[in-house]
Amino acid sequence: MKKIIGLTVILVLITSCGGSDNGELTGVPGREKYFEPDPYGMVFIPQGSFNMGPSDQDVPWAENVTAKTVTVEAFWMDETEITNNEYRQFVYWVRDSIIRRMLAAQIEDFAISEDAFGNPIDPPYLNWETKIDYKDEEVNNILQELYLQPNERFFGRKELDTR
């Protein structure tokens, strides 16, 4: 019986170590390498590492502050710098365009629906020249859905809901 079991084990080992290519995942042969195109206006920052910690020498063998090596994965970054002021200007423009679009849907003064010759414009443009009177009750009623609900406000302040 031991000979039969031993012979079976040896036979299984010999047949399982065969050199056939059946069952192997090989992918598509001759396929060209993946090429990642550069996104418009972006710069590729390669993977790298740097030492984080004190830049001065520590007291010898004190070991109270240790430097760490930090590895950063590769990523894409915008090639132009944006200041906080420029970003704030963009955020305010987006906020104002949303408000003007809501007002233009209900108040004609906030939309330009005809050109200088009286021809209709479809879709109408936003009129950026019209001042928004936030104290006007009609404007407040239209913009009410943009603000936090009274029970969700901090210290009772009327602020835009940015969620």
pTM of the model: 0.50
What per-residue confidence (pLDDT) applies to 130?
A: 83
Please say whether the beta carbons of 113 and 127 come within 8 A: no
d(CA 57, CA 74) in angstroms, rounded, equals 30
d(CA 121, CA 124) in angstroms, rounded, equals 5
Domain ranges of the chain: 38-80, 84-152
List per-residue pLDDT tens for the chain, 163 residues long: 888 998 898 888 877 766 666 667 777 878 888 888 888 989 999 999 998 887 666 666 666 777 789 999 999 998 888 899 999 999 889 888 888 888 888 888 888 877 888 888 888 888 888 888 888 888 888 888 888 887 887 887 777 777 7
